[in-house]
Structure 1
C-alpha cells in the first residue's frame, strides 16, 4: 500500500528540484527525503525518477504517481479550507518572475490578488528571461512575453501585446501634429538594455532617424515619452489609457508578442500556484480587453 506521506515527499521533491531544497521546505534533513522516496519506489514497485540531460525527471510511472498525488493534495487542501476557512490557513509563499518589459503595469491586478488571497504571499522579481527562471526553478510562475511557449513549460495565454509610436501633447504642440515619423525625435533603446522587446521595436527604425535619448528600461521609456522628451514605441494597452499621449504611427502588427502565465510542464502545481493561475488569468485578460 502506498503511503500518502511518502507521496507528499515525492511531490515536494519534484517541485523543489532536488532533495536538499525539498528537505528545506519539509523542514527535515536530506537523508529523510531520500529514505522516503526510496520507500515510495519500493511500494510502487517501479522507478519513479530517471536521469536526463537536464538532471533528474519523473519517469512515465512517476508522472502517473504525481498526477494522483496532485489530486489527493488538492482534495486535502480543499477539505482544510472548507473546515477551517481560508483566513485561518497557513501562509504560503509564491515566487513570480515578471518580464522586465512589463515594468509595474500589472501591479494593480497583483495587488487585487493579494487582497483576495491573504494567505498567499507573493515574492515578485523582474527578469529579462522569466521563462528561464521558471525552467531553472528560480520561481514557480513566470509572467512571460514569448511566442511560442518554450519547451518544458505550460500555462495560459493571456493575449497579445502590441506596440505603436506615441508622443505627448506638449511635444506635438512644439513639433507639429500629423508629421511623418522621421520628422520626430525618438527615445530609443540603449545598446546595454536587456529588454528584448525594446530592441525589437528599434529594428523598425532607419539609420537616419533622429534620437532624443537612449534608455534601458520600460519605466524610463514610458516616462520619457510622457514628459515630452520625444516619441517612443509603447505598449498600446498602457499608452492608449494615458490622457496626454497620442499615437504618431500605425499599430505595428508584426511587433505583437504573446503574454503568458507559465509553469514547468513536469511539475504538478501546488495549491498557491493553482490558485494564482486560475485567479490572475481572467484579471490580466480583462485588463487587456478594457485597456
Structure 2
C-alpha cells in the first residue's frame, strides 16, 4: 500500500530538484528524504527515478506516480480548506453560569460577544453556585464571586466588586439629603434569599432599621431602589453609572468580593472558550473600573 506521506516527500523532491533542497522545505534532514523515497519505490515495486546527464529525473512510472500525487495533493488541499470553512461556521455551544448576585448586568458584554462570534451559541444560566457548576461540568465558564479560586478551577480575576448604599433622586427629594443612613427606609434581603453577598451587605445594619420592602434577588433589589422604595446596597459599578441614583453611605471596603471567570483546571479550553475568555476579561475589567464619586 502506498503511503500518502511518502508521496508528499516525492512531490517535494521533484519540485525542489534534489534531496537537500527538499529536506530544507520539509524541515527534515537529507537522510530522511532519501529513506522516504526508497520506501516509496519499494511500495510501488518499480524505480521512480533515473539518472540523466543533468541529474536525476522521474522514470515513466515516476511520472505516472507524480501525476496521481499531484491530484491527490490538490484534493487534500481542497478538503482541508472546506473543513476549515465548516469549522468557522459550525455552531458551537458555550455554557455559562453567572452568579445570581450579578443578575443580567453583564448582558451587554455577552451580547457583544455573541454578535462578534455568531458560530458560538451561548447558553447562559443564573446560579447560586457557579463554581460548583464548573466543577460538575454543568457549564464551561463561570462568572464567580470568590476571593480565592477554589480547588479544581483556574481562570482570571477580573477585579473587586464593591458595594455602597444608594437611593434614588426622587426618594431623596422626599426624605431629605445627607441624613444618617438609619434615617432612611431600606430595601432588605428576605431570610429565604440564597444570594450570599446580598445577605452580607444587609447584615451591616442592625435589624431595627426601617424596612420598606424585602426582596430575594439582585434584579428586584436594584429595581426597588430605582422605583423609589428606599435605599439599598448596590454594586458600585452599576449604581455609579446611573445618574438617578445617589450614594447615601460610605464605600464599605470590607464588603468587596472578587469577580473571576473560571474554568476547570483539568480540561483544556476549546476554541469557543478561549475566544470568550480573551474577549471578556478586558471588557469586564473596563466595565467594573468605574470611578466612585468623591465623598
Residue 119 (structure 1) aligned with residue 119 (structure 2): yes
Trace 1:56-205 onto structure 2 (pairs within 5 A). 84=84, 88-205=88-205
Shift of 1:270: 1.1
Shift of 1:150: 0.8
Give the direction of change, closer, same or farther, for the CA distance of 1:184–1:278 in structure 2 (3 Å limit). same
Which residue of structure 1 lines up, in the alignment, with residue 66 of structure 2?
none
| CA distance, structure 1, for counterparts of residue 289 and residue 198 of structure 2 | 23
Shift of 1:149: 0.9
Shift of 1:155: 0.2
**How many residues are treated as equivalent by the alignment?**
212
Which residue of structure 1 lines up, in the alignment, with residue 229 of structure 2?
229
| CA distance, structure 1, for counterparts of residue 266 and residue 183 of structure 2 | 51
- SS of corresponding position for 1:289: coil
Shift of 1:275: 1.1
1:156-202 CA distance string (max 9 Å, x none)? 11110000000011111111100001100100001111111100001
Shift of 1:290: 4.1
- 8 Å CA contact 1:87–1:119 kept in 2: the answer is no
Shift of 1:286: 1.2
Alignment root-mean-square deviation, CA: 1.7
Shift of 1:289: 2.1
Which residue of structure 2 lines up, in the alignment, with residue 283 of structure 1?
283
Shift of 1:243: 1.3
- SS of corresponding position for 2:162: strand
Shift of 1:226: 0.7
Q: Show structure 2 runs of 5+ residues with no match.
A: 1-79
Larger radius of gyration: 2
Find runs of 4+ consecutive structure 1 residues off by over 3 angstroms. Answer: 80-88
Q: Show structure 1 runs of 5+ residues with no match.
A: 1-79
Give the direction of change, closer, same or farther, for the CA distance of 1:189–1:136 in structure 2 (3 Å limit). same
Give the direction of change, closer, same or farther, for the CA distance of 1:208–1:82 in structure 2 (3 Å limit). farther
Shift of 1:86: 8.0
- 8 Å CA contact 2:240–2:290 kept in 1: the answer is no
Task: Give the TM-score of the pair, scaled to structure 2.
Answer: 0.69
- 8 Å CA contact 1:225–1:231 kept in 2: the answer is yes
| CA distance, structure 2, for counterparts of residue 115 and residue 253 of structure 1 | 36
| CA distance, structure 1, for counterparts of residue 121 and residue 279 of structure 2 | 14
Which residue of structure 1 lines up, in the alignment, with residue 58 of structure 2?
none
Which residue of structure 2 lines up, in the alignment, with residue 264 of structure 1?
264
